[in-house]
Structure 1
Amino acid sequence: MKNTVALIVGGSSGMGKEIAERLLRQGHSVMILSHDPIGLAEAKADLEKKTGGKVDTAEVDLYNSEAVAQFIARIKKEPRHINYLVNAAGFFKPVTFLEHSEKDYDLQLDINKSFFFITQAVAKNMQQHEGGSIVNIGSMWAHQAVKATPSSAYSMQKAGLHALTRNLAMELADYGVRVNAVAPSVVLSTIYKSFIAEDEIKETLQGFNDFHPIGRIGTTTDIADAIEFLLSDKASWITGTVMNIDGGVMAGRN
């Protein structure tokens, strides 16, 4: 086992869990963070059974500033090198702009505050250990609006994450830290359960296949492939990029 640890914020399900599994198979220790204690326990058991690796967990509500501060204090005491960070947590629920409440807004933008300061603490660890790689999961919705899925605050959150990616790439390069992001379009994952019944997500999302020039929606594997590459030394000359992993959506229109 390497004397390193990869931190996956939002690593108990979906894209975050898949990249956690890949890093465990590479020999890294992995820490997954989520607000859901049951989901954390189930993910830990599943990941360790599949990989034989070591999974630490952290129950943290990203909307609770005190809980985030306590977790940051834990990061500051971490003796190991946190060589990878993936900010994968997210919440998606289409709400029209004229119907947006303050709560709807806070559900989106408050995530970035937590990302900002958790990433700051991790970057200081990376600075101390002379290097690291960070990948943020952004979104196609940060690049363009989709009328069928009104997402003004969500798009602001993800656009802010893209901007943070580029700024940190510039500021942290001197310390050997690379910072990149991926911008997925429609991906089969549980993020849609806020407005689609979980057992209906797969069927419902098939209606978006033709939205993508490649002809299908994405999978968590598609996104994890890109994240794994960006974290790795194979991407050692890549920083500050926001990679569109979107089935060709940003290339044009069918």
Structure 2
Amino acid sequence: MAQIFAIIQGGSSGMGLATAKRLAARGVTPVLVGRNADKLSTAKADIEAEHSVDVMTWQADVTNTDDVQSLVGKVDALEGNIRYLVNAAGYFSPKPYLDHTAQDYDLYHDYNRGTFLLTQAVARKMTATGSGSIVNIGSMWAHQAIKATPSSAYSMAKAGLHSMTQHLAMELGEKGIRVNAVAPAVVETPIYGAFIPEDEISQTLKGFDAFHPVGRIGTVEDVAATVDFLLSDEASWVTGAIWDVDGGVMAGRN
């Protein structure tokens, strides 16, 4: 029986790592993609200590064109069944529109370029086996603007990811591949370290508890549970969906 792989872009921390752990619990072999070797090593050790799987790690920066080309080559060469792909890598640092530089804009959209090409390589492998499930980590910010966290370039990029999700669902459905996305609101993850000191992230984000109708910010496990469901055969009739995993934020105004 062919080995079943799940490629998790951004799998060394946050939502990606939480999802990788859930997949490992189902006997799937996670392939963690991340740019920090130490974080990848730690994530691999954590998963292997909890589950009877061998974890693979690919060190790469998806905003770097050479690294993306190398990733595509690794996907092409991987022997086994790539059943799942989760695109969870990202960057978030709020900045007013008038203060954005071209470099700020390029960084966000370089993530999308890398995601586009990696997903294309994986989709080709999935096409060869006639099945696969892909989940993209989008954002609530792609649905609505939040004045307290101005993020025009980030939101453009995430809106593009949502759109790609729907287009791929239409094109790849007949090949047995489902493509969905989740759109989280405020979730406690390391991504906020771009503008909040690491030891202050938890306390700072608690200030957004009341922003969510359920009364609290999200956890990586909250999002990973939904991603895991969308990847699974339990969601076999769901594709092209962008699910709000946001504690009720999109339901209305608080």
- Which 4+ runs in 1 deviate beyond 4 A? none
Given residue 165 of structure 1, which amino acid in structure 2 is its aligned partner?
Answer: T
Instruction: Find the counterpart in structure 1 of residue 64 from structure 2.
Output: 64
**Distance in 2 separating the partners of 1:17 and 1:131:** 23
Gaps of 5+ in 2: none
Q: Measure how far apart 1:67 and its partner are.
A: 1.2
Q: TM-score, normalised by structure 1?
A: 0.98
SS at match of 1:53: coil
Cα RMSD of the aligned pairs, angstroms, is 0.9
Aligned 8 A contact 2:33 2:59 in 1: yes
Tell me the percent identity.
54
Q: Matches of 1:190 and 1:205 in 2, distance apart?
A: 11
Structure-1 residue corresponding to 2:180: 180
Superposition deviation, residue 107 in structure 1: 1.4
Please tell me whether the aligned partners of residues 2 and 81 of structure 2 are also in contact (alpha carbons under 8 angstroms).
no
Once residues 52 and 70 of structure 1 are traced to their aligned partners in structure 2, the CA distance between those partners, rounded to angstroms, is: 28
CA displacement, residues 33-68 of structure 1 (integer Å, 9 cap, x when unaligned): 001111111111111111131100000111210111
Other structure's SS at 2:238 match: coil
Paired residues for 1:1-254 under 5 Å = 3-254=3-254
Aligned partners of 1:92 and 1:194 also within 8 Å: yes
Displacement, 1:19?
0.5
Q: What displacement does 1:81 show?
A: 1.1
Q: Does the aligned pair in 1 maintain the 2:188–2:220 contact within 8 Å?
A: yes
For residues 2 and 228 of structure 1, the distance between their equivalents in structure 2, rounded to whole angstroms, comes to 21
Partners of 1:2 and 1:28 within 8 A in 2: no
Q: Specify the SS of the correspondent of 1:57.
A: strand
The size of the alignment, in residue pairs, is: 254
CA distance in 2, matches of 1:63, 1:229: 28
Distance in 1 between the 2:127 and 2:243 partners?
25
Whether the aligned pair in 1 keeps the contact of 2:3 and 2:80 (CA below 8 Å) is yes
2: CA distance between counterparts of 1:63 and 1:108?
9
